[in-house]
Amino acid sequence: MRLLAEHSGSLDLHPTYTYLLCCSLFRDTCRVVRDQESIVGFVTGLRKPRSPEVLFVWQVGVLESARGQGLGKTLILDLIKDSKLPLPQYIEATVAPENSPSLKLFQSIAKELKCEFSQSSGFEAHHFGSENHSPEHLIRVGPIKHLVPTTFS
Ligand SMILES: CC(C)(COP(=O)(O)OP(=O)(O)OC[C@H]1O[C@@H](n2cnc3c(N)ncnc32)[C@H](O)[C@@H]1OP(=O)(O)O)[C@@H](O)C(=O)NCCC(=O)NCCS
């Protein structure tokens, strides 16, 4: 997952330890997709501790050669439909405004679930101190009323 993030071109890179924590502490809200050789896509997320009805998507990444085939969308939809957890009412994520593929991905999920997509200010550039990091807008999909059965055949 860390290697994929490193080669994603846009994801913040975290230490391997962080990915291990995600996959152990938050294992119900993380997924990977593999081919014969390696991981070709992953999503890490969590239920917000103070608002468990919100599924927060922390990172989603798909290997460049595997993009545009619906993997990113399938990974997130698979988290939503997880029968071990109650259906989330909202999906949230923070996205850099110039990350058009990511915005399109969440807009597509909103369309699929027949619910609203909204954007508001999340973290401003100054919150990142001297890192020269883009601002991150908070995006929200929901309220999710029900799953559309045809999505998950
Ligand atoms: C964002 C990302 C995960 C999308 O993964 P993907 O598997 O290519 O996306 P999908 O094939 O599932 O596409 C989902 C929707 O987004 C749209 N989309 C995805 N990439 C797009 C692009 N570059 N331009 C326009 N639309 C795009 C698709 O058309 C699709 O919409 P549709 O269902 O209406 O047809 C992938 O581009 C990526 O790994 N980017 C680098 C990491 C990153 O920026 N992650 C997001 C920040 S957390």
Of ligand 1's listed atoms, the one at least distance from the Cα of 75 is: 12
Q: What is the distance between the alpha carbons of residues 24 and 22, in angstroms, rounded to a whole number?
A: 6
What are the boundaries of each domain within the chain? 2-152
CB 118 within 8 A of CB 126: no
pTM of structure: 0.95
The predicted pLDDT at position 148 comes to 61
pLDDT in tens, 29-49: 999 999 999 999 999 999 999
pLDDT, average across residues 125-147: 93
pLDDT, average across residues 127-131: 94
Pocket test for ligand 1, best of 40, 108, 133 (most atoms within 8 A of CB): 108
**With a 6 A CB cut-off, is 105 part of the ligand 1 pocket?**
yes
Is CATH 3.40.50.1980 the right assignment for the domain spanning 2-152? no
Q: What is the distance between the alpha carbons of residues 7 and 22, in angstroms, rounded to a whole number?
A: 19
The predicted pLDDT at position 73 comes to 97
Comparing CA positions, the residue from 100, 122, 49, 40 lying closest to residue 75 is: 40
pLDDT in tens, 57-110: 999 999 999 999 999 999 999 999 987 889 999 999 999 999 999 999 999 999
* Amino acid occupying residue 12: D
pLDDT in tens, 138-153: 999 999 997 765 444 3
pLDDT, average across residues 103-124: 97
Q: How many CB atoms lie within 10 A of CB 23?
A: 15
Token digits of residue 144: 């999710």
Pairing of strands 90-95, 51-62: parallel
